[in-house]
Amino acid sequence: NPTLTLSKSSSAVPSPLGSGGTFNWVLTAVVSSGPTVANATITDTLPPGFTVNGTITDSADNGQAAKMTCTPNGAVPGATGFSCTLASTAANGTYTITVPVKAPTVTGSTQCVQYTNVATATFAAVGGVPGGTVVQTNNSNSVTVTCPALSITKSAVDSNVDFGQNVQFDIV
């Protein structure tokens, strides 16, 4: 029986990531004991506020990149998730999905937290039996988004002003 091992990593630098920052989530699907006998589907719903920020790309180290198709495919800014299908008869090898992502623009301290994203994989059934084994031990990745550190102070230059006079302020 073929085995599909799914893992996920992030290129978020710096970590923590700034508000509205961009990075890539990278999903790696390794097929062993193949080829696959059924389609395998990899799905990923991004955390709230995260969106796809460019073209989702896929590649394979064995020359079989055409065995992987992703939906939505291509440039889909604003998408909040995707799925990829690894076709049956995919040979042993490593299939990589790179997803450019934009983190949420945070405005309040409750949004400045760690966000965890989980991808999942399943094999279609063949004759009522799953078409392979899925191993999902490292299929999640977390990114911390920081709030902008901003403080504004306003004070009058002269606190003794007569009625009708202009007031000058310092803003720091």
Nearest to 29 by CA among 140, 134, 141: 134
The answer to whether the pTM exceeds 0.85 is no
Residue 74: per-residue pLDDT: 56
pLDDT tens sequence for the chain (172 residues): 889 999 999 988 766 788 889 999 999 999 999 888 888 999 999 999 899 988 888 889 988 878 888 887 655 667 888 999 998 888 899 999 999 999 988 876 665 788 899 999 998 887 777 788 888 878 889 888 887 666 678 888 887 888 888 888 888 8
Judged by DSSP in three states, 107 sits in coil
Nearest to 49 by CA among 97, 115, 120, 108: 115
Alpha-carbon separation of residue 19 from 143, 146, 147 (angstroms):
11, 6, 6
Residue 5: per-residue pLDDT: 93
Degrees to nearest 5, angle at CA 40 with 38 and 41: 145
Contact 104, 50 (CB under 8 A): yes
Residue 61: per-residue pLDDT: 92
